[in-house]
Amino acid sequence: MSERPLRRQFLQQTLALGAAVAGGRFATAADPNAPLWAYVGTFSSPLQDVLPTQVDLPPGNGRGIHIFRVDRQTGRLTPAGEYRSGTSPSCLAVNPAGTRLYSANETDRVGDQGEGSVSAFAVNRQTGALELLNTVKAGGAGPTYVSLHPAGKHLLVANYFGGSIAVLPILADGRLGEATDVRVDEGKIGPTKAPHAPPGSFAFSGHDRTHAHMIEADPTGKFVFHVDLGLDRIFVWRFDVATGKLAPHDPAGVSLPPGDGPRHFAFHPNHRWFYSIQEEGSTLVLFDWDEKTGRLTERQTISTLPPGYEGSNFCSEVLVSGDGKFLYAGNRLHDSIGIFAIGPTGELKHVADEWTRGNYPRSFNFDPTGRFLYCCNQRADNLAVFEVNRETGLLKFTGQFVGVGNPSIIVFLDTARGA
- Are 101 and 123 in contact by the 8 Å Cβ rule? The answer is yes
Residues 6+ apart with CB under 8 A from 5: none
Q: Which residue ranges in the chain fall short of pLDDT 70?
A: 1-30, 46-59, 418-419
Say if CB 36 and CB 414 are below 8 A apart.
yes
How many CB atoms neighbour CB 46 within 10 A? 12
Q: Where are the domains of the chain?
A: 3-414
For the chain, the C-alpha Rg in angstroms (whole number) is 19
Please tell me the predicted confidence (pLDDT) of residue 369. 92
Among residues 143, 140, 126, 32, the alpha carbon closest in space to that of 87 is found at 143
Task: Please name the amino acid found at residue 221.
Answer: G
Region at 166 (left for phi over 0; alpha for psi -120 to 50; beta for the rest) = beta
CATH superfamily of 3-414: YVTN repeat-like/Quinoprotein amine dehydrogenase (2.130.10.10)
pLDDT of residue 23: 36
Angle, CA of 212, 253 and 145, to the nearest 5°: 25
Residue 407: asked if its preceding bond is cis (omega within 30°), the reply is: no
SS3 202: coil
No. of helices (H) and no. of strands (E), the chain:
2, 28
The pLDDT mean for the chain works out to 91
For residue 417, the model assigns a pLDDT of 80
What pLDDT, in 10s, does the model give residues 61-102?
Answer: 999 999 999 999 999 999 999 999 999 999 999 999 999 999
pLDDT at 56: 55
